[in-house]
Chain A
C-alpha cells in the first residue's frame, strides 16, 4: 500500500518570506511524486512532479521541490511567498500501477 503524510494542516507565512510545505511518502518500488494546488472553488492545478533524474524539481509559479529518498520526503518550497500563493496544497504519490494517493492537504495562508 502507498500513502502520503502532510504533517501540517496549516502553514502561515508573511509575504516575501520563504514557504515550505512538508510531505513524506510510503510506497513499494520507485515513487512518482506530485504537488497540486487548489484555489477556492477551483479544480486541481499541477505544480510539479518527480519521476526520475535530478532530485531538485522546478515547477510552476516559482515553486520547487526536493526529492529525498533516504528521508522519503518531497517538500515543496518557494523562496519568496506571495499573497496569491494562499491556497490548499496536495502532495501525491504514484507507482507502477499508476494509482495516485493523496495527502490530506495543507492550507497555506500568506499574509500581506
Chain B
C-alpha cells in the first residue's frame, strides 16, 4: 500500500530534550515536506525537500532541522524543544508533476 509513515503518533517530552520524528514514504516520491497544524492557523510548512540532499526552509523553520540522506526518509529533528513547539505535525510527499500529495497520519507532540 502506498503510504507515508510517521513515528511516533504521540510524544510527550520535556523542554530541551532532543527528539526526532521519523517520516518514510514507499512511493519513490522526490518531494517531501513537514507541516505543523495549530488551531486557527491551519497547516504551516516547516521544511521541504525536492530530492536527496536538497532541503529548504518553509514558513516556520525556527527550532527545527531536517535531513534527506535517502529518498524515502525525511526525519524532523528538534534539537532543543520548547513548549511553543507543542503541535500536530504532518509529513507529506509528492510525485513532482502529478500534484498528488500524500500525508502521514500525524504526530501529536507535547513539550512540557
Q: Nearest A residue to B59 by beta-carbon distance?
A: A101
Contact with B along A18-39 (1 / 0, CB 8 A): 0000000000000010101000
- The reply to whether A46 and B43 form a contact with Cβ atoms under 8 Å apart is no
Q: Nearest A residue to B6 by beta-carbon distance?
A: A43
CB distance from B87 to the nearest CB of A (A): 14
- A contacts with B, residue count (CB < 8 A): 23
- The reply to whether B42 and A104 form a contact with Cβ atoms under 8 Å apart is yes
- The reply to whether B105 and A42 form a contact with Cβ atoms under 8 Å apart is yes
- The reply to whether B40 and A98 form a contact with Cβ atoms under 8 Å apart is no
Assembly CA distance A49 to B94 (angstroms):
14
Indicate which residue in B41, B58, B103, B106 contacts A99 across the interface (CB closer than 8 Å).
B58
Assembly CA distance A51 to B101 (angstroms):
13
Assembly CA distance A103 to B41 (angstroms):
7
Assembly CA distance A98 to B48 (angstroms):
10
- The reply to whether B104 and A43 form a contact with Cβ atoms under 8 Å apart is yes
Given contacts A51-B99, A92-B43, 5 further A-B contacts (CB under 8 A): A34-B101, A90-B42, A90-B43, A98-B94, A100-B45
Q: Which B residues are within 8 Å of any A CB, using their own CB?
A: 31, 33, 35, 40-45, 48, 50, 58, 90, 92, 94, 96, 99-101, 103-106
